[in-house]
Amino acid sequence: MDPSFAERADPDLLAAWRAGDRGAGGELISRHHRLLYRFFRNKADDALEDLVQRTFLAIIEHREEIRDAGAFRGYLLAVAKRELVGHFRRNGRLRDRFDPLTGSVEDAATSPSRAVAQDQERARLLAALRRIPLSFQVALELHYWEGATAGELAAVLEIPEGTARSRLRRGKELVRAELAKVGTAAVSDDSELDALVRRAAPDDA
């Protein structure tokens, strides 16, 4: 692949890809591969590879529909979120009744998830994230682990920016409540929760 691609911004690569440059498309997809792995890892480990592939295929098929080339990452994550919900509606226990505003990963899981933590604190935090409604889990993980802004969250979740900020606040409350249920020491403020969630970030694929 042309090494100059690595120096080009997402909008330039997308424009070149749309014009027929497959190398630019390959660089754009490769650039965001790890992002998708991190997105899916604490939500659907059993279908991680499939979901990553489905997301990229959807991007390839619909690349002409991306309106804001400068927000490619947000568009990619919005597609990933839709693929994840579709996965739960096809394969989860709730099937078509799964609602990401009320249903969690644990509600939808087809089998107990494999261990994803190397220590007890991390395991409890990841489990707490998996027990809150999916839309709140997505918001928190993207905020803490990918540095997503409220604007990016709004694009991914397809909601107004103010609603995205509210979802973050409510998500933090839900995680604290879940941690309290399993006997984790009280997480009294945002700074403590921030540190806890950031320590639980998955390693790059």
Distances (CA, A) of 18 to 3, 53, 72: 19, 20, 13
Q: How confident is the model at residue 116 (pLDDT cuts 50, 70, 90)?
A: very low
With 90 as the cut, is the pLDDT of residue 65 above it?
Answer: no
As given in the structure block, the two tokens for residue 133 are 């409604």
- When pLDDT is cut at 50, 70 and 90, the band that residue 149 belongs to is very high
Domain ranges of the chain: 32-199
Strand partners, 104: 133
Nearest of 169, 148, 171, 152 to residue 161 by alpha carbon: 152
E strands, 66-138, in order:
none
CB < 8 Å & 24+ apart, contacts of 23-30: 25/60, 25/63, 26/1, 27/1, 27/2, 28/72, 29/56, 29/59, 29/60
- What average pLDDT score do residues 104-131 get? 71
Identity of the amino acid at 176: R
pLDDT tens digits, one per residue of 8-40: 888 899 989 988 898 998 998 899 999 999 999
**Residue pLDDT, tens place only, 165-191:** 999 999 999 999 998 887 655 566 677
Q: Which of 92-101, 118-127, 130-139, 167-176 is the least confident region?
A: 118-127
What number is the average pLDDT over the span 94-100?
Answer: 86
Which residue, among 60, 107, 69, has the nearest Cα to 88 in the 3D structure?
A: 107
State the Cα angle at 179 between 133 and 78, rounded to 5°: 30
pLDDT at 124: 84
Of the pLDDT bands very low, low, confident and very high (cuts 50, 70, 90), residue 192 is confident
Sign, Cα dihedral of 45, 100, 94, 87: negative
Largest Cα–Cα distance in the chain?
56
Question: How many C-beta atoms surround the C-beta of residue 64 within 10 A?
Answer: 8
- pLDDT at residue number 197: 81
Name which of 109-113, 146-150, 172-176 the model is least confident about.
109-113
- Among left, alpha and beta (phi > 0; psi -120 to 50; other), residue 98 is beta
What does the pLDDT read at residue 203? 66
pLDDT of residue 3: 61
State the Cα–Cα distance between residues 48 and 50, nearest whole angstrom.
6
Highest mean pLDDT among 68-72, 94-98, 145-149: 145-149
Residues 57/82, Cβ–Cβ less than 8 Å: no
**pTM score over 0.85:** no
Question: What pairs with residue 133 in β-bridges?
Answer: 104
In the structure, what pLDDT confidence band is assigned to residue 120 with cuts at 50, 70 and 90? confident
CA angle 145, 151, 152 (to 5 degrees): 45
